[in-house]
Amino acid sequence: MRRREFLQISAGSIAVTALRGIPQVPERPALRELAGAKNLLVGSAFSFAQMARPEMAALLAQQCSIMVCENELKWGPTQPERDRYEFEHADAMVVFAEAHGQKVRGHNLCWHQSNPAWLETTITPGNAAALLRQHILVVAGRYRGKIHSWDVVNEAIHLEDQNAGGLRNSVWLKNLGEGYIELAFRAAAEADPGAILTYNDFGMEHDAPDQERKRNAVLGLLRGLRARGAPVQALGIQSHLTAHLDPPRFHELHGFLKELGKMGLRVFITEMDVDDRDLPADVAKRDRMVAGLYRDYLRTVLAHDHVRAVLTWGLADRGTWLDAYHPRGDGQKKRPLPFDAELHAKPAFAAMCEAIAECPARSEERV
C-alpha cells in the first residue's frame, strides 16, 4: 500500500489535517521553539478526539516538540481481546506527530489500571509472564524506531499497600511477584532497543513526609533494577500538582534529582497539570495561583541538566481528566493547563515560557 493511501485509510481526519498542513492559529510564542533553543523537549498528552478538532490539532502542532497518547496505547485500547490488537487511533496519532516533526512518548506497557476486562479474568501465575511479554513485544515492536521513550512500567509503587519495596498490589505483582518489573523492561528493550525505557510514577514532587517516602521507594526500585542489570534509563515524574492557598514547596526535589543524575538516569516531566479544586472560584485569582505553581515547579526541575522533557497532561482545559476525578465542589470547570477551553493562552502558559526561557541549555545533543 502506498504511504498516502495508508494515511488516508488508517488516520482519517487526523491524517487529512496532517497532510494539508495546519489551520491558522493566532501569533504567539511557541513553547517548542523556546525549548528547542535549550535542547529541551516540550509537549503534551494528545487524545484522538481532541486531534479531530482542527484548531486543537493546530495548537498541538504549533506548541509541541513531543507528544504522548493520553489513552490510546494503554492495554485496554490496544489489546481489547486476548487475540485481537487494535492500533487505528495510535497509528493515526503517530502519523500526525511525524508529520509535524514531533517526538512520541509511549504510555504505557504495564499498569494496574486501564486493563481490558479479559485480562483480569484470564491471568494466572502460570500465564502472566507470557501475557505481559507478548503484549510488550507486539505493542512496542509495532512502533520500533518511532518512539522517543516508553513508560514501560507505570505507578508500581503504592506505600499504603505495605509490601516489600513499597510495591503496589497490582494484578502484575499478585501474579508474578516483584520480578514483573524487570521482565517488562527486558521485553521492552528487546522490542525497541532505541527507545529510552522509563519508569513513570506520581506523588514525589513536593516537600512532605509521604512524598519523601515515595521518592526513597522510587530510588530503591531504580537502584535494584540497575543492580540486576535491567535496562531502565529514565524516570518519568508525572507532576500532577495541587494548588493550595499556602502553595506546596519543592526544595526536597533537588536532592532527589541529584541522586537520579548520579545514577546516569534522565528525567522527564511526563504529565504536568495543576489541580485548582481547593482554590477560590475567581478565575483571575485561580489562574494566577496555578501559574505560580507552574513557574516554581519548572524553575526547580529545569535547574537540573538531566531533565530533558516537559509534557503537560493536555494542553487546553477542555476535556481535562481532572474534571472527572474529584470535580470542584462549586461545579465550576477546573483550569489546570496552559490554555483555556477556547484555546486562549493563560498565565500558566506565560509561566512555562518564562521558566523555559530562563533555564540553562541542556548539555548533550541527545534528548
> Could you list the residues that contact ligand XIL (CB under 6 A)?
70-71, 154, 238, 271, 321
Q: Which of 70, 72, 155, 252 is catalytic?
A: 155
Residue 307 grid cell:
531533565
Which is closer to ligand XIL, CB of 113 or CB of 169? 113
Which is closer to ligand XIL, CB of 34 or CB of 199? 199
Compute the least distance from the CB of residue 70 to ligand XIL, in Å.
5
Q: Clarify whether 271 is annotated catalytic.
A: yes
Q: Which helix (H) or strand (E) holds 239?
A: none
Which is closer to ligand XIL, CB of 78 or CB of 238? 238
Compute the least distance from the CB of residue 253 to ligand XIL, in Å.
19
Q: Which of 72, 205, 252, 271 is catalytic?
A: 271
Q: Are the CB atoms for 269 and 309 separated by under 8 Å?
A: yes
Q: Are the CB atoms for 55 and 32 separated by under 8 Å?
A: no
Round to whole Å and give the CA distance between 104 and 95.
10
Which is closer to ligand XIL, CB of 111 or CB of 180? 111
Which is closer to ligand XIL, CB of 7 or CB of 320? 320
Compute the least distance from the CB of residue 295 to ligand XIL, in Å.
23
Helices 128-142 and 180-191 sit at what angle, rounded to 10 degrees?
30
Residue 248 grid cell:
506546596
3-state SS assignment for residue 345: strand
Q: Are the CB atoms for 77 and 71 separated by under 8 Å?
A: yes
Task: Name the closest residue to ligand XIL (Cβ).
Answer: 321
Compute the least distance from the CB of residue 107 to ligand XIL, in Å.
6
Which is closer to ligand XIL, CB of 71 or CB of 216? 71
Q: Are the CB atoms for 52 and 13 separated by under 8 Å?
A: yes
Compute the least distance from the CB of residue 74 to ligand XIL, in Å.
7
* β pairing state of 149-154 and 66-69: unpaired
Residue 63 grid cell:
506548541
Compute the least distance from the CB of residue 143 to ligand XIL, in Å.
17
Write b or e for each residue in 28-38: b if 16 or more Cβ atoms lie within 10 A of its Cβ, otherwise e: ebbbbebbeeb
Chain-centre distance of CA 113, in angstroms?
A: 15
Counting every residue written for the chain, the total comes to 367
Which is closer to ligand XIL, CB of 154 or CB of 312? 154
Of 251, 255, 218, 209, nearest to 237 (Cα)? 218
Taking the CA of residue 351 as centre, how many other CA atoms within 13 Å lie in the half-sphere pointing to its CB? 23
Compute the least distance from the CB of residue 270 to ligand XIL, in Å.
8
Q: Is 125 exposed, middle or buried (0-12, 13-18, 19+ CB in 10 A)?
A: exposed
Residue 304: DSSP 8-state = S
Round to whole Å and give the CA distance between 23 and 29.
17
Active-site residue set: 155, 271
